[in-house]
Protein backbone atom coordinates (compact mmCIF):
# COMPACT_ATOMS: atom_id res chain seq x y z
CA UNK A 1 0.00 0.00 0.00
CA UNK A 2 2.81 2.34 0.98
CA UNK A 3 4.75 1.51 -2.19
CA UNK A 4 1.64 2.11 -4.23
CA UNK A 5 1.27 5.52 -2.62
CA UNK A 6 4.90 6.41 -3.34
CA UNK A 7 4.66 5.29 -6.95
CA UNK A 8 1.45 7.29 -7.33
CA UNK A 9 3.23 10.32 -5.91
CA UNK A 10 6.16 9.85 -8.29
CA UNK A 11 3.72 9.41 -11.13
CA UNK A 12 1.96 12.63 -10.23
CA UNK A 13 5.31 14.42 -9.94
CA UNK A 14 6.18 13.24 -13.44
CA UNK A 15 2.77 13.98 -14.87
CA UNK A 16 3.05 16.46 -17.70
CA UNK A 17 -0.34 17.58 -19.01
CA UNK A 18 -0.64 17.71 -22.79
CA UNK A 19 -2.25 20.89 -24.09
CA UNK A 20 -3.85 21.63 -27.44
CA UNK A 21 -3.28 25.31 -28.20
CA UNK A 22 -5.54 26.84 -30.83
CA UNK A 23 -3.91 30.04 -32.02
CA UNK A 24 -5.10 32.54 -34.62
CA UNK A 25 -3.17 33.24 -37.81
CA UNK A 26 -3.15 37.05 -37.66
CA UNK A 27 -3.07 37.78 -33.93
CA UNK A 28 -2.23 35.25 -31.23
CA UNK A 29 0.03 33.07 -33.37
CA UNK A 30 2.27 36.12 -33.72
CA UNK A 31 2.61 36.28 -29.94
CA UNK A 32 3.43 32.57 -29.78
CA UNK A 33 6.04 33.17 -32.52
CA UNK A 34 7.44 36.10 -30.60
CA UNK A 35 7.69 33.99 -27.43
CA UNK A 36 9.89 31.55 -29.36
CA UNK A 37 11.89 34.37 -30.92
CA UNK A 38 12.64 35.69 -27.44
CA UNK A 39 13.44 32.14 -26.22
CA UNK A 40 10.77 32.41 -23.54
CA UNK A 41 10.10 28.90 -22.33
CA UNK A 42 6.74 27.32 -21.59
CA UNK A 43 5.67 23.68 -21.23
CA UNK A 44 6.78 21.76 -24.35
CA UNK A 45 3.87 19.32 -24.12
CA UNK A 46 1.82 21.68 -26.24
CA UNK A 47 0.64 21.23 -29.81
CA UNK A 48 -0.25 24.44 -31.63
CA UNK A 49 -2.82 24.44 -34.41
CA UNK A 50 -3.59 27.68 -36.26
CA UNK A 51 -7.10 28.85 -37.09
CA UNK A 52 -7.91 32.06 -39.00
CA UNK A 53 -10.03 33.36 -36.10
CA UNK A 54 -10.89 31.97 -32.67
CA UNK A 55 -14.60 32.25 -33.50
CA UNK A 56 -14.00 29.24 -35.76
CA UNK A 57 -13.66 27.02 -32.67
CA UNK A 58 -16.27 24.27 -32.82
CA UNK A 59 -17.16 22.65 -29.46
CA UNK A 60 -16.48 19.10 -30.69
CA UNK A 61 -12.82 19.97 -31.17
CA UNK A 62 -12.35 20.01 -27.39
CA UNK A 63 -14.02 16.64 -27.04
CA UNK A 64 -11.89 15.09 -29.77
CA UNK A 65 -8.77 16.52 -28.14
CA UNK A 66 -9.56 15.06 -24.70
CA UNK A 67 -10.72 11.70 -26.06
CA UNK A 68 -7.51 11.15 -27.97
CA UNK A 69 -4.68 12.25 -25.72
CA UNK A 70 -4.76 15.92 -24.76
CA UNK A 71 -5.47 16.91 -21.16
CA UNK A 72 -6.65 20.42 -21.90
CA UNK A 73 -7.46 22.93 -24.65
CA UNK A 74 -6.09 26.47 -24.57
CA UNK A 75 -7.82 28.88 -26.93
CA UNK A 76 -5.55 31.84 -27.65
CA UNK A 77 -8.31 34.13 -28.86
CA UNK A 78 -8.13 37.26 -30.99
CA UNK A 79 -9.80 39.50 -28.41
CA UNK A 80 -10.48 43.07 -29.48
CA UNK A 81 -7.66 42.98 -32.06
CA UNK A 82 -9.60 40.55 -34.24
CA UNK A 83 -9.22 41.62 -37.88
CA UNK A 84 -12.58 40.09 -38.80
CA UNK A 85 -15.12 41.17 -36.23
CA UNK A 86 -15.66 43.29 -33.14
CA UNK A 87 -17.72 40.67 -31.31
CA UNK A 88 -15.02 38.01 -31.65
CA UNK A 89 -14.61 37.59 -27.89
CA UNK A 90 -18.34 37.17 -27.19
CA UNK A 91 -18.80 34.79 -30.11
CA UNK A 92 -15.81 32.63 -29.16
CA UNK A 93 -16.92 32.68 -25.51
CA UNK A 94 -20.30 31.28 -26.55
CA UNK A 95 -18.60 28.39 -28.37
CA UNK A 96 -16.40 27.79 -25.31
CA UNK A 97 -19.44 27.65 -23.04
CA UNK A 98 -21.02 25.09 -25.36
CA UNK A 99 -17.80 23.10 -25.34
CA UNK A 100 -17.71 23.10 -21.51
CA UNK A 101 -21.23 21.76 -21.46
CA UNK A 102 -20.31 19.10 -23.99
CA UNK A 103 -17.30 18.01 -21.93
CA UNK A 104 -19.46 17.77 -18.80
CA UNK A 105 -21.98 15.61 -20.63
CA UNK A 106 -19.16 13.25 -21.53
CA UNK A 107 -17.79 13.10 -17.99
CA UNK A 108 -14.83 15.46 -18.40
CA UNK A 109 -14.07 18.47 -16.19
CA UNK A 110 -15.09 21.68 -17.98
CA UNK A 111 -12.02 23.38 -16.41
CA UNK A 112 -9.98 21.59 -19.04
CA UNK A 113 -10.81 24.38 -21.48
CA UNK A 114 -9.31 27.83 -21.13
CA UNK A 115 -9.89 30.81 -23.35
CA UNK A 116 -7.74 33.95 -23.18
CA UNK A 117 -7.32 36.91 -25.51
CA UNK A 118 -3.69 37.04 -26.62
CA UNK A 119 -2.75 40.12 -28.64
CA UNK A 120 -0.04 39.95 -31.28
CA UNK A 121 2.71 41.06 -28.87
CA UNK A 122 1.25 39.55 -25.67
CA UNK A 123 4.24 37.32 -24.95
CA UNK A 124 4.21 37.76 -21.19
CA UNK A 125 0.46 37.13 -20.76
CA UNK A 126 0.71 34.08 -23.02
CA UNK A 127 3.56 32.57 -21.00
CA UNK A 128 1.85 33.34 -17.69
CA UNK A 129 -1.56 32.01 -18.73
CA UNK A 130 -0.31 28.83 -20.37
CA UNK A 131 1.75 28.08 -17.26
CA UNK A 132 -1.23 28.74 -15.01
CA UNK A 133 -3.36 26.46 -17.17
CA UNK A 134 -0.64 23.81 -17.07
CA UNK A 135 -0.65 23.93 -13.27
CA UNK A 136 -4.44 23.74 -13.22
CA UNK A 137 -4.31 20.59 -15.37
CA UNK A 138 -1.60 19.09 -13.16
CA UNK A 139 -3.92 19.48 -10.21
CA UNK A 140 -6.79 17.92 -12.13
CA UNK A 141 -4.57 15.00 -13.07
CA UNK A 142 -4.71 12.92 -16.25
CA UNK A 143 -7.97 12.65 -18.18
CA UNK A 144 -9.95 9.56 -17.19
CA UNK A 145 -10.72 8.09 -20.59
CA UNK A 146 -13.25 5.35 -21.11
Give residues in contact with another protein (CB under 8 A).
16, 18, 20, 26-27, 30, 32-37, 39-42, 44-53, 55-58, 60-61, 64-65, 67-70, 81-85, 87, 91, 95, 120-121, 123
Instruction: Report which of 7, 13, 50, 11 is spatially closest to residue 28, judged by C-alpha positions.
Output: 50
CB 72 within 8 A of CB 93: no
Question: Is the CB of 95 or the CB of 109 nearer to another protein?
Answer: 95
The nearest distance, CB 27 to another protein, in angstroms, is 8
**Long-range contact set of residues 102-111: C-beta below 8 Å, sequence gap at least 24:** 102/59, 102/60, 102/62, 102/63, 103/62, 103/63, 103/66, 106/63, 106/67, 107/144, 107/146, 108/63, 108/66, 108/143, 109/140, 111/136, 111/140
Question: Is the CB of 6 or the CB of 10 nearer to another protein?
Answer: 10
Cα separation, 7 vs 43, whole angstroms: 23
Question: Is the CB of 3 or the CB of 146 nearer to another protein?
Answer: 146
The nearest distance, CB 6 to another protein, in angstroms, is 24
The nearest distance, CB 3 to another protein, in angstroms, is 26
The nearest distance, CB 2 to another protein, in angstroms, is 29
Question: Is the CB of 6 or the CB of 64 nearer to another protein?
Answer: 64
Amino acid sequence: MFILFISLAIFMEDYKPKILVLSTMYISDLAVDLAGLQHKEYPPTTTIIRLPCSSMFRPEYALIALENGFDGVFIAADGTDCPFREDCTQLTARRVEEAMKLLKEHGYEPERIKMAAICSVCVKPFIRLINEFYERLRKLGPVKRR
